Structures are given as structure tokens and as C-alpha cells.
Amino acid sequence: MNKMAIVIGATGLVGHALVEKLAAAPHIGKIITLTRRPVIHPSSKVFNQVVDFDHLEDHPSLFNAHYLFSCLGTTKKLSGSIEAQRKVDVDYQFKAAQLALNQGVEHYLLLSSSSANAQSNNPYLKMKGELEQKISALPFQRISLFQPSLLLGQRQDFRLAEKIGSWVMPALCIIPALRRFRPITAEQVATKMAWVSQQEGHAKEIFSLDDLFIQ
């Protein structure tokens, strides 16, 4: 049976690639992308809905689907502050998850990060860890968490630290002890997320970096 998928964060590096993968996937009949601005996609499977993420609760019916793929994310630089970044990286995604659960979504798939840890001193990793904990407490039939390292791909916004990392890390990761930090392309992560949605799985699964390289 063709199923319906919701994608938030569809304009991001992984989210954009994921929509492409889902549009080509035979088990997906319809894809709803929730975005802050209009986004056109050539596939007849893809339907875009512009929403105000500060008021997601005004649109509960948009979360009536089989899958929710959550790929939202920003940086302190782009958002302006840690507090504003947290609103995107944690609050918006958790609100979307709650709405999806109430609308009967069966499978929740979250793009997180390697080393996500709610106790971390790093604000980014702390936010990712906190979101994982909050999501894991929700009674979805199935939850899949994906933990990539540095993402490679062509972003719309320039991120100097990531650009430098994309040059340096592949060379450094030849060293065995650093392999767990090796970069991965957004395309590879999106492929894994789409593939997992087609397979049977456990109630909660965590896909670490090594898992994301394997289909």
C-alpha cells in the first residue's frame, strides 16, 4: 500500500535529498513538505504546505500520515542565538512529533547527530541529546534515530567550519581512532532514512555513523 510521509526540514541538506529519495520510493504515495516559504518540487507525489512553525498547533491535520521524517536544524550564527537555535532544533521538532503522534503517525524518523548527549557541554550536542530523550519518551509504534557526523553536500548557506571540516576530516579519518568522526554525504544519510522506512524494525532503533554507510 502506498503510504504518506511528512518531511519537516525539507529545504536542508539531508531533507532535500530525502524528498528526492521518497519521491522515487515505491512504498510512498504522497509526501507533504512543511516549510516556512513555498518550495516547488517536480514530482506529482510532493505537496508543499507553508506553515508558521511558531503555531504548528494550528495545523494538526497536516500531520495525519504514516511517517514523520524530522530533519530540521540550524546554527547559532543563522538563528542569532543559542535560544533561537534551540527553538528550531528542539521545540519545533518536539511539537511536530506530538502533533504527529496525536494524528496517528506510526513511524517517526529523526535526523540527530553523532555524540548527541543531553549532558554535553557542547550546546549543539546537548540540544540533540535532549531532543532524542524527549522523542524516545513518546509512544510511537516505531522510532528511528539517525546519528551522522559532519555532513557533506552543497548547502544554500555557507558554513565556514563545516567547509574546513570537509577538507580536513577525510584525511584525518584515515587514522583508525578517528574513523568514528569521518564525514558522510547528505545523500547517504537520506538513502538510509528512506531505506529504513521500507523495512521492518524494532520499536526503537539508533543508527550510528557506521550504520549509515550500510544499506
Q: Is 124 a catalytic residue?
A: yes
CA 215 – CA 213 distance, rounded (Å): 7
Q: Is 45 a catalytic residue?
A: no
Catalytic residue among 21, 45, 124, 192: 124
Catalytic residue among 128, 134, 192, 204: 128
**H or E segment at 79?**
helix 76-79
DSSP letters spanning 10-48: TTSHHHHHHHHHHHT-TTEEEEEEEESS----SSTTEEE
166 Cβ contact list (under 8 Å, min separation 6): 150, 152, 183
Just list the catalytic residues: 124, 128
